[in-house]
Each structure stands twice: as C-alpha cells, then as structure tokens.
Amino acid sequence: MSGPRPPVPAAGSAAPEVTPEELLTWADRLLTSPVDGLGLWPRACALVIRLALEQSLDRFWAGVLPEAAECGMRQQLLLLPLYAPAPPADSDFDDDASSLAREAWRGLARAAHHHVYELAPTAEELRRWHTVVSRLTVLLAAEPHDAVSTL
C-alpha cells in the first residue's frame, strides 16, 4: 500500500515555510502508516521530529531573543527557562518548556545520528518525543512574557 510520500528534509536545512506543526503531522503519519520504500523510517521520523523541535525553538526565539537561535542547543536550553511561558497550572511537574525541550533533545540528538551500536529508536520512543515536541510547540506558540519576571 502506498500512502502519500512525505518529504524527508535534510537535517538543519528545512524550507522556511514548513511549520513545526506541519512537520509533526508528517511525523505522525510516518508513525501510523507504513511508507513504501522507506525502510529507515524510524530514523527518518526522528529527523522530522527533531526538525520540528528546532523550528519550534527558532520561531520562539525570533519573537523574544533572535540571537539565541544562533547559539548551540546547550545555551538555548539554558536560556529557555528565562523566556518560556509557564506551563498550564494543571500539568506535570516537568511539563515546563525547558524540561520538555531537554527530554526531546536528549533523545532526538542521539537518534537522528547513526551510532554503530545503537539501534534505531522504537515506535514508543518516537511517539514519546512526538508528544513532547507537540506539547512544547503549543507552549512556545503561546504569548511570550517578560523574561526577567520569571526569575
């Protein structure tokens, strides 16, 4: 069975018009329906989710601190708690933007590269990252607030 073939953008060179939401939809499709000729789908899927994470962060930084987008992920993750909006009151203790981003980045950074001894991520892991990045994207798309007041 042949579904619509999703574009598999190369890491770091996404066309600017692709939104994180669109990327997540593609990733979800990869997770739920088999795609012909794409034997490496777990890694492909991880790449798409990772891209969604980066796009989501870039879009966020563009609004509050454009320079941050130029920094490494370590710095971005350190800056995030200073700028990110607070999570909804009823969410888990680690449902803040920084925790979500850290968890997704930790998994995706590893999965999107080829490691000799490491197996491709499982559907469960991919689903988890997809969920985490989706949550983060929603959170970061909310109205940003004054960085200093969070401290």
CB of 59 to other proteins, least distance (A): 18
Q: Which is nearer to other proteins, 5 or 32 (CB)?
A: 32
From 5-13, 39-47, 50-58, 94-102, span contacting other proteins (CB under 8 A): 94-102
Q: Which of residues 35-64 bind other proteins (CB under 8 A)?
A: none
Should residue 131 be labelled a site residue for other proteins when binding is judged by CB under 8 A? yes
Should residue 15 be labelled a site residue for other proteins when binding is judged by CB under 8 A? no
- The 3 state secondary structure assigned to 72-98 is CHHHHHHHHHHHCCCCCCCCCCCCCHH
Rg of the chain taking only CA atoms, in angstroms: 16
Burial class of residue 74 in the structure, from the number of CB atoms within 10 Å of its CB (0-12 exposed, 13-18 middle, 19+ buried): exposed
Rounded Cα distance, 49 and 140, in Å = 16
CB 140 within 8 A of CB 34: no
List of residues contacting other proteins (CB under 8 A): 65, 67-68, 70-72, 74-75, 77-79, 82, 93-94, 98-99, 102-103, 105-107, 110, 121-122, 124-125, 127-128, 131, 147-148, 151
